[in-house]
A and B are shown apart, each in its own frame.
Chain A
Amino acid sequence: MAMRDLVTGAPSCGETSSSSNPLGALANALIGSSSKTQERLKEIPTSVSTSSNGNFLAGVEEPLVTLPGSEFEHPLQPNIQGSHFLQGFHSVDQNRLSDVWDEIQRPQLPFAHGSPHMANIPLEHARLQPDLNGPPQQVLSSFLHSFVNSSHGGVPFRPASLPLLGLSEGDKQCIRDRSTIMARHFFADKSEDFINGQVNALLSSLEIDNHVRGRGPVPGRYPELEEYWNESLAMKPAPHVADGWINEFSQNRVGHADPNAWVQSFEQQHGANGWATEFEHEQSQLGMIGQMRGANIPNLAAMEQTRMLAHTLAQNSDPKFQNSKFLQFVSKMSRGEISIEENQFKPATISSGDWAAEYEQQHNGGQTWADQFAHEELSREPQGWVNEFSAEREQHGSVNDEWVNEFSKLNVNDDWADEFGRQVAEGAFGETSADGWAEAYDEYMNEQAALKQQSDASRGVYVFSDLNPYVGHPNPLKEGQELFRKGLLSEAVLALEAEVLKNPENAEGWRLLGIAHAENDDDQQAIAAMMRAQEADPANLEVLLSLGVSHTNELEQQAALKYLYSWLSHHPKYGSIAPQEQPISFYHADVARLFTDAAQMAPDDADVHIVLGVLYNLSREYDKAIESFKTALKLKPKDYSLWNKLGATQANSVQSADAILAYQQALDIKPNYVRAWANMGISYANQGMYEDSIRYYVRALAMNPKADNAWQYLRISLSCASRNDMLEACDSRNLDVLQKEFPL
Chain B
Amino acid sequence: MPVFKTPFNGYSVKFSPFYENQLAVATAQNFGILGNGRVHILQLTPNGPISELAAFDTADGVYDVCWSEAHDSLVIAASGDGSVKLYDLSLPPTNNPIRSFKEHTREVHSVDYNTVRKDSFLSASWDDTVKLWTVDRNASVRTFKEHAYCVYSAAWNPRHADIFASASGDCTTRIWDVREPGSTMILPAHDFEILACDWNKYDDCIIATASVDKSIKVWDVRNYRVPIAVLNGHGYAVRKVRFSPHRASAMVSCSYDMTVCMWDYMVEDALIGRYDHHTEFAVGVDMSVLVEGLLASTGWDELVYVWQHGMDPRAP
Q: Is this pair of chains taken from one and the same complex? A: yes
Partner-B contacts on A (CB < 8 A): 1-4, 6-9, 13, 16-17, 20-23, 25-26, 29, 33, 36-37, 40-41, 44-45, 47-49, 52-57, 60, 63-64, 66-70, 72-74, 89, 96, 109, 111-112, 118, 121, 123-132, 137, 140-141, 144-145, 148, 151, 167, 171, 174-175, 177-179, 181-182, 184-186, 188-189, 215-216, 218-223, 318, 320-321, 323-324, 328, 427-428, 430-431, 469, 472
Q: Is B44 an interface residue (CB 8 A)?
A: no
Q: Is A16 touching B159 in the complex (CB atoms < 8 A)?
A: yes
Task: Confirm or deny: B292 has a beta carbon within 8 angstroms of a beta carbon on chain A.
Answer: yes
Most buried by B among A33, A41, A67, A323: A67
CB distance from B36 to the nearest CB of A (A): 6
Query: Does B232 touch A at the CB level, under 8 Å?
Result: no
Residue B312, interface by CB 8 Å: no
* B292 adjacent to A126 (CB under 8 Å): no
Question: Does the CB pair B195–A174 fall under 8 Å?
Answer: no
Q: Which of B228-286 contact A (CB under 8 A)?
A: 236-237, 239, 246-250, 256, 264, 266, 280-281
Chain B residues within 8 Å of A20, by CB: 202-203, 248
- Tell me the minimal C-beta distance from A154 to chain B in angstroms: 10
> B185: which of A7, A26, A45, A121 is its contact (CB, 8 Å)?
A7
Within the complex, what minimum Cβ distance (angstroms) separates A84 from chain B? 14
CB distance from A469 to the nearest CB of B (A): 6
A67 engages B119 (CB within 8 Å)? yes
With A188-B192, A320-B191 as contacts: A121 and B99 at CB distance below 8 Å: yes
A45 to B70, CA, bound (A): 10
B76-97 interface bits toward A, Cβ cutoff 8 Å, 1 = contact, 0 = none: 0000100001001111011111
Contact A321 B177, CB 8 Å, known A3-B163, A48-B72: no
Please give, as numbers and ranges, the residues of chain B lying within 8 Å of A53 by CB-CB distance: 88, 90-91
- Inter-chain contacts of A221 with B (CB < 8 A): 148-149, 169-170
**B205 near A128 (CB under 8 angstroms)?**
no
Whether A45 touches B205, Cβ cut-off 8 Å, given contacts A7-B185, A67-B141, A128-B36, is no
Q: Provide the bound-state CA to CA distance between A124 and B132, in Å.
A: 21
Task: Tell which of B99, B139, B148, B162 touches A223, judged by Cβ atoms closer than 8 Å.
Answer: B148
Which chain A residue has the least Cβ–Cβ distance from B100? A124
Q: What is the minimal beta-carbon distance from B273 to any residue of chain A, in angstroms? A: 13
In the complex, which of the residues B36, B72, B106, B225 contacts A49, with contact meaning CB atoms closer than 8 Å?
A: B72
Question: Which residues on B sit within 8 Å (CB–CB) of A45?
Answer: 17-18
Q: A63-B136, A68-B178 are in contact. Are A318 and B188 (CB under 8 A)?
A: yes
Minimum CB–CB distance from B110 to chain A (whole Å) comes to 14
Query: Which residues of the other chain, B, contact A131 by a CB distance below 8 angstroms?
Result: 36
User: What chain A residues lie within 8 Å of B143 (beta carbons)?
Assistant: 73
Give 3 nearest A-B pairs by CB, closest first: A69-B178, A20-B202, A52-B90
Please provide the chain B residues from 200 to 227 with a CB less than 8 Å away from any CB of chain A in the complex. Answer: 202-205, 212-214, 221-222, 224-226
Residue of A4, A25, A70, A324 near B247 (CB, 8 A) is A25
Interface check B30, CB cutoff 8 A: yes
Contact call B225/A427, Cβ cutoff below 8 A? yes
Task: Say whether A184 contacts B90, CB under 8 Å.
Answer: no
| A112 adjacent to B136 (CB under 8 Å) | yes
The smallest beta-carbon distance between A157 and chain B, in angstroms, is 13
> Are B139 and A186 within 8 A (Cβ)?
no
Does any Cβ of A come within 8 Å of B73's Cβ?
A: yes
Q: A13-B204, A41-B290, A215-B106 are in contact. Are A127 and B31 (CB under 8 A)?
A: no
| Chain B residues positioned under 8 Å from A189 (CB to CB) | 214
* In the complex with contacts A68-B178, A178-B107, A219-B136 CB distance below 8 A: no
Given contacts A26-B247, A45-B18, A148-B31, 8 further A-B contacts (CB under 8 A): A41-B290, A111-B137, A124-B99, A127-B59, A144-B33, A177-B106, A220-B149, A324-B171
- Smallest CB separation, B23 vs chain A (Å): 15
